[in-house]
Amino acid sequence: MIAKTATECLITLKDVSKAYQQPNGQKISILEPINLELRSGEIVALLGPSGSGKSTLMRIIAGLIPPSEGQILYHNRPLVGLNPGVAIVFQNFALYPWLTVLENVELGLKAKGEMPEPRLQKALKMIDIIGLDGFENAYPKELSGGMRQRVGFARALAVEPELLCMDEPFSALDVLTAENLRFELLDLWLEKKIPTKAVLIVTHGIEEAVILADRIVVLGRNPGRIRAELTVTLPHYRDRKTPQFQALVDQVYKILTNPELSCETVVAPAASATTVSQPEPAPSAKYQSLPQVRTGAIAGLLELLEDRKEKDLYRLGQELMLEVDDILPIVEAAKLMDFLIIQEGDLLLTPVGIQFIAGGIDQRKQIVRTQILSNIRLVQQISRMLQAKRNHRISEELILDILEAHFSPKEAMRQLQTAIDWGRYAELYSYDEPGGEIFLESETKDE
């Protein structure tokens, strides 16, 4: 556990969980009980794959949505309603198109009840600090993405929040613009040009987290939970090329790519970084979650692995310019089919995986058929129901009903689509799109 220091504790989450009630009455757990402290003087990154509840957690901290259970303390007092110390920067800027830059920046101050004159002064000052000088009267549509996000930053910072929350603030920008803004923000923070006491950044980019954060909180999904906490002690400004930086990136990559890995077994801390793991018990028997990946993407990854010596997942991702979020689901799918294993960050093909690559289209279909029938619960359920029905047809509603006991309606739909996609590829069943029915072709072979 982290040693208590003299730093002030801004926010404390005590067993904060979130569940949503489905229209059918079922409850879906989005966040398992979370215990977390945000202290003054630190930048904390919430890092995790999409769907792990990062945005939800941030919104709970901001007081935009209430937790289902647990407590949020703000300066050691229970938080009720909106958190007065928080301002948010959103991924998609969230600007009002009919307001000028200045008017957009003034909005937060207005909401705080500032009088027109000090409001104008504060907004102009922040516009200056954030590099928007001269654009006061421009409209958002006249600005580039990078400039728009500057407006987002200026609006959030103008109210001088104690805690600046950012939800993937750089991910809608091109690489160069993102990197510039990241370092400018870091400048403001390190040189204390803004009175902000702490920063919380939600991200799915490992390098972004390692560049910015003093502490990285790794979230896992289905349901969302804290899998690990890493304290980063590398001095700013951090150089991506140093072995220490790379070691830390590798370490986080390993945690993210091994959803089964319990935090207690997280590998030894990298140089200059200490791992403070907060092991959470593995969630009890939950429904298997399928990554939304087409069979073509799985085949593509396997073929790529066959052809190259580079087996390191992280470097492979870098080489292909793929983010964790892009590559991880494909790796997960290939693992579900037993086509590969991950060993010390390396992707290794299994004998079945090798067989798959060597096979022609018919053999490949046959292999996928065997693999999904033995490994994928949803595919098994669909197949069994199809066999049981006399007309060998089932409506997708039936499957969605089952899935919605475990997933949100949107996610249930994705799960179904993936199962249909995989099953069709394997020629296990067909799908009648307009009718919304899954069916067996009459001559389909029994399995």
Binding footprint of ligand ADP on the chain (CB under 6 A):
20, 30, 48, 50-56, 224, 408, 410-411
To the nearest whole angstrom, how small is the minimum distance from the Cβ of residue 378 to ligand ADP?
Answer: 17
**Interaction mask 248-267, Mg ion, x per CB under 5 A:** --------------------
Closer of 55 and 415 to Mg ion (Cβ): 55
Smallest gap from residue 19 Cβ to Mg ion (A)? 18
Residue, CB closest to Mg ion: 55
CB of 52 to Mg ion, least distance (A): 9
Nearer to Mg ion, 46 or 403 (CB): 46
CB of 433 to Mg ion, least distance (A): 30
Binding of residue 55 to Mg ion (CB under 5 A): yes
Backbone angles phi and psi of 162, in degrees to 5: -70, -40
Candidates 37-45, 53-61, 94-102, 249-257: pick the segment binding Mg ion (CB under 5 A).
Answer: 53-61
Residue placing its CB nearer to ligand ADP in the complex, 149 or 371: 149
The minimum distance between CB 148 and Mg ion, in angstroms, equals 19
Q: Which of 58/194 has CB closer to Mg ion?
A: 58
Torsion sign across C-alpha atoms 81, 87, 92, 94? positive
Q: Which is nearer to Mg ion, 55 or 257 (CB)?
A: 55
How many residues are given for the chain? 447
Residue 312 to residue 301: CA distance in whole angstroms: 13
Q: Which stretch binds Mg ion (CB under 5 A): 38-46, 50-58, 248-256, 412-420?
A: 50-58
Which helix (H) or strand (E) segment holds residue 328: the answer is: helix 324-336
- What's the rounded Cα separation, in Å, for the pair 121 and 106? 10
Q: Select the binding partner of residue 390 from Mg ion, ligand ADP, none (C-beta < 5 to 8 A, by kind).
A: none
Closest distance to Mg ion from the beta carbon of 63 (Å): 17
DSSP-assigned letters across all residues of 150-201: HHHHHHHHHT--SEEEEESTTTTS-HHHHHHHHHHHHHHHHTT-S---EEEE
- Separation CA 251–CA 271 (nearest Å): 11
Q: How many CB atoms lie within 10 A of CB 93?
A: 21
Using CB under 5 A, count the residues that bind Mg ion.
1
| 55 vs 83, beta carbon nearer Mg ion | 55
**Under 8 Å between Cβ of 252 and 230:** yes
Instruction: State the nearest-atom distance from the C-beta of 168 to ligand ADP, in Å.
Output: 8
Q: Rule CB under 5 A: which of 175-204 touch Mg ion?
A: none
Residue 51: CB minimum distance to ligand ADP, A: 4
Q: Phi then psi for 431, rounded to 5 degrees?
A: -135, 130
Query: What does DSSP assign to residue 265?
Result: G
By beta-carbon proximity to ligand ADP, the closer residue of 46 and 394 is 46
Q: CA 117 to CA 115: how far, in whole Å?
A: 6
Q: What does the DSSP 8-state code read for residue 41?
A: T
Do residues 259 and 214 touch, judged by C-beta distance below 8 A? Answer: no
C-alpha closest to that of 232 among 273, 271, 189: 273
Out of Mg ion, ligand ADP, none, which partner does residue 237 contact, by CB within 5 to 8 A per kind?
none
**56 vs 149 by CB, closer to ligand ADP:** 56
Binding partner selected for residue 205 from ligand ADP, Mg ion, none, CB under the kind-specific 5 to 8 Å limit = none
Which residue, 20 or 96, is less far from ligand ADP as judged by CB? 20
Partner residues linked to 166 by β-bridges: 89, 201
- Token duo for residue 285: 């028997």
CB 48, min distance to ligand ADP, A: 6
Cα–Cα distance for residue pair 218/61, rounded to 1 Å = 17
DSSP state of 312: B
Angle between helices 295-307 and 324-336 (to 10 degrees): 90
Contacted by 408, from ligand ADP, Mg ion, none: CB < 5 to 8 Å by type: ligand ADP
Beta strands at 43-47 and 215-220: parallel, antiparallel or unpaired: parallel
**Unique residue bearing structure tokens 């997280």:** 266
52 lines the binding site for Mg ion (CB under 5 A): no
Q: What distance, in Å, lies between the first and last C-alpha atoms of the chain?
A: 52
Contact (Cβ atoms closer than 8 angstroms) between residue 177 and residue 208: no
Of ligand ADP, Mg ion, none, which one does residue 48 interact with (CB within 5 to 8 Å by kind)?
Answer: ligand ADP
Among 251, 254, 250, 349, which residue's Cα sits nearest to residue 303? 349
CB 356, min distance to Mg ion, A = 34
Between 85 and 224, name the residue whose CB sits nearer to Mg ion: 224
Who contacts 90 (Cβ-Cβ below 8 Å, separation ≥6)?
152, 167, 169
Segment interacting with Mg ion (CB under 5 A) among 54-62, 145-153, 391-399, 406-414 = 54-62
Which amino acid, one-letter code, is at 175?
Answer: V
CB of residue 354 to ligand ADP, shortest distance in Å: 34
Considering the complex, state which of residue 55 and residue 295 has its C-beta at the smaller distance from Mg ion.
55
Residues in contact with Mg ion by CB under 5 A are 55
